[in-house]
């Protein structure tokens, strides 16, 4: 049996999460098997259970990791004074549409997450609430409750539009969906 350098196990778990995250977002959770993830990660199937109890455990880890990264982007934007408009335009861009594997896990996986166990949905819910709160903090004017309501509407518009833009086969229609969603999200964000 080969021995690994100290720290190999600690580095392996995040690597498996990264590989699974890209595969889940590109192809869907149900369509991705553990054997494919481990092969792409350059590991044996048996090594999986050293790091995760089950595929569902991996799904939760992927969601938390991906949503924490997205949350950190929102925090960085807020701290650096980057306008919510920039976030909206970046999210609803052709680049984001065309790269689901590195994009928003919510747009890529929300319909599947709805069918997962409560513990997975609870983890997703907590992170979504954090992201909505950060978006609300970037909203101009209004009470905290009004800004939260608008942030929910903006995020729902962004996620839904991104999903639709990916689903249609007509490139021009896809572009129109993105462009019109930017306008709608900005109007919502500004309370119009």
**What pLDDT, in 10s, does the model give residues 28-39?**
999 999 999 999
pLDDT at 81: 87
Region 107-132: mean pLDDT is 94
Inform me whether the pLDDT recorded for 60 exceeds 50: yes
Region 63-72: mean pLDDT is 92
Under 8 Å between Cβ of 24 and 41: no
Inform me whether the pLDDT recorded for 6 exceeds 60: no
Say how far apart CA 162 and CA 108 lie, in whole Å. Answer: 9
Inform me whether the pLDDT recorded for 1 exceeds 70: no
- Token pair 């997205």 in the structure block, residue: 70
Say how far apart CA 80 and CA 57 lie, in whole Å. Answer: 34
Question: Residues with Cβ < 8 Å from 57, sequence gap 6 or more?
Answer: none
Region 96-119: mean pLDDT is 94
Put simply, whether the predicted model's pTM sits higher than 0.85 gets the answer yes
8-189: in CATH 3.40.50.2000: no
Q: What angle do CA 107, 159, 191 make, to 5 degrees?
A: 160
């Amino acid at each position: 049996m080969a021995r690994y350098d100290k720290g190999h196990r600690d580095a392996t778990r995040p690597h498996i999460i990264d590989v699974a995250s890209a595969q889940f977002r590109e192809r869907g959770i149900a369509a991705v098997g553990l054997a494919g993830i481990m092969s792409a990660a350059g590991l044996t199937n048996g090594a999986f259970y050293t790091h995760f109890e089950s595929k569902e455990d991996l799904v939760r880890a992927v969601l938390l990791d991906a949503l924490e990264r997205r949350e950190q982007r929102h925090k960085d934007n807020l701290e650096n004074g980057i306008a919510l408009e920039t976030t909206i335009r970046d999210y609803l861009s052709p680049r984001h549409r065309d790269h689901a594997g590195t994009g928003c896990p919510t747009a890529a996986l929300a319909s599947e997450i709805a069918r997962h166990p409560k513990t997975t949905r609870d983890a997703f819910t907590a992170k979504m609430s954090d992201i909505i709160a950060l978006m609300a903090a970037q909203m101009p004017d209004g009470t905290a409750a009004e800004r939260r309501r608008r942030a929910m509407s903006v995020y729902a518009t962004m996620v839904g539009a991104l999903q639709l833009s990916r689903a249609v086969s007509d490139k021009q229609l896809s572009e129109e969906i993105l462009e019109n969603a930017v306008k709608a999200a900005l109007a919502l964000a500004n309370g119009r």
